[in-house]
């Protein structure tokens, strides 16, 4: 595990556009997808694939958020359930000191399982995303003004779940965002599942160590559908 240089302590903040209050003492973790981590989940090889979603070190941040324990509850909350592909992204730092990013993803809607089936494109907001320590207002600087560890870039995540990435395909359960014409993930990190472009199956993008501890609680949705064919996942969601 390769911790970043400093721990960042977040006080309570209200996330405009997503409506989530984050209370976090950040534990800085490296996303090294090692075999021994996967072995924590099952002594037998798991029936699904872990995919490293971020190219950077990631932070695993605790958060106060509304979560759901059943598919029926998530379906009731969702105004749209769909297969989407992320085609563009923009990061907005809603706090600068310390930095707290929100990633806004423009998504092409490939198929709607619930909601307006004429929808072609949507904007989804997620707490998290890339942070460049060199541009942070809280980063210590040398006497000549050059930031210390200016090369240090990391990805801020909630509970080890990276934000969706450009070019990838996901099945998402969405609620209305608080910004006009935007959506947010139901359960913040619960209602999204990446679909592999090669196998057409659900894959897990969450840090394996965290997933091992939370797969029957916070990440039950990902555990339920990881390794399943997209057609089977779609059929299960359409039944609601």
Which is nearest to 158 in space by CA: 47, 82, 67, 41? Answer: 67
Tally the C-alpha atoms within 13 A of residue 25's C-alpha that lie toward its C-beta. 0
In this prediction the pTM is 0.78
Query: Quick one: pLDDT at residue 8?
Result: 31
Neighbour tally for 41: CB within 10 Å: 19
Contact 43, 165 (CB under 8 A): no
What pLDDT is recorded for position 178?
83
Residue 37, in any domain of the structure: no
Helix (H) or strand (E) holding 19: none
User: Does residue 220 belong to any structural domain of this protein?
Assistant: yes
Q: Is residue 39 domain-resident?
A: no
**Under DSSP, is residue 58 helix (H, G, I), strand (E, B) or coil?**
strand
Task: Give domain status of residue 4, yes or no.
Answer: no
Q: Locate 203 and state its tokens.
A: 């894959």
- Examine residue 160 and state whether it is found in any structural domain, yes or no: yes
Residue 11 has a pLDDT of: 33
> Distance between CA atoms of 181 and 163, rounded to whole angstroms?
19
CATH code (residue 70) = 2.40.50.120
Supply φ then ψ for residue 230, to 5 degrees.
-55, -40
The range of the structural domain enclosing residue 204 comes to 9-29+47-238
Indicate whether 93 belongs to any domain. yes
Does residue 92 lie within any of the structural domains? Answer: yes
pLDDT for 7 equals 32
Residue 144 CB neighbours (<10 A): 5
List the pLDDT tens digit at each of the 240 positions of the chain.
Answer: 333 333 333 333 334 344 443 433 333 333 333 333 444 444 334 688 999 999 888 888 888 899 999 999 999 999 999 999 999 999 998 887 777 899 999 999 999 999 999 999 999 999 999 998 777 665 555 444 545 554 578 999 999 999 999 999 999 999 999 899 999 999 999 999 999 999 999 999 999 999 999 999 999 999 999 999 999 999 999 987
DSSP 76-121: HH-SEEEEEEEEEEEEEEEEETTEEEEEEEEEEEEEEEES-TT--E
Domain count, the chain: 1
pLDDT at 152: 78
- Per-residue DSSP letters for 113-182? EES-TT--EEEEEEE-EEEEGGG-TTS-B-TTSPBTTTT-EEEEEETTBPPP-TT-EEEEEEEE-SSTT-
In a domain, 82, yes or no: yes
Q: What is the pLDDT of residue 74?
A: 97
Residue 98 has a pLDDT of 74
């Amino acid at each position: 595990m390769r911790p970043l240089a400093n721990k960042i302590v977040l006080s309570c903040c209200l996330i405009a556009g997503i409506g989530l209050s984050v209370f976090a003492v950040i534990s800085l973790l490296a996303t090294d997808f090692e075999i021994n981590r996967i072995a924590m989940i099952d002594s037998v090889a798991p029936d699904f694939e872990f995919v490293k979603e971020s190219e950077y070190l990631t932070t695993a941040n605790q958060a106060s958020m509304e979560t759901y324990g059943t598919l029926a509850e998530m379906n009731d909350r969702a105004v749209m359930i769909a297969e989407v592909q992320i085609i563009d992204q923009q990061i907005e730092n809603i706090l600068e000191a310390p930095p707290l990013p929100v990633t806004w993803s423009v998504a092409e809607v490939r198929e709607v399982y619930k909601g307006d089936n004429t929808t072609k494109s949507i904007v989804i907001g997620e707490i998290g995303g890339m942070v460049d320590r060199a541009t942070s207002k809280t980063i210590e600087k040398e006497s000549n003004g050059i930031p210390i560890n200016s090369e240090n870039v990391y990805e801020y995540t909630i509970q080890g779940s990276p934000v969706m990435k450009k070019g990838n395909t996901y099945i998402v359960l969405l609620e209305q965002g608080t910004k006009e014409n935007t959506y947010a993930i139901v359960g913040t990190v619960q209602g999204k599942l990446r679909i592999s472009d090669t196998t057409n199956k659900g894959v897990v993008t969450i840090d394996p160590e965290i997933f091992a501890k939370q797969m029957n609680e916070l990440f039950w949705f990902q555990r339920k559908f990881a390794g399943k064919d997209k057609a089977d996942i779609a059929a299960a969601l359409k039944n609601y």
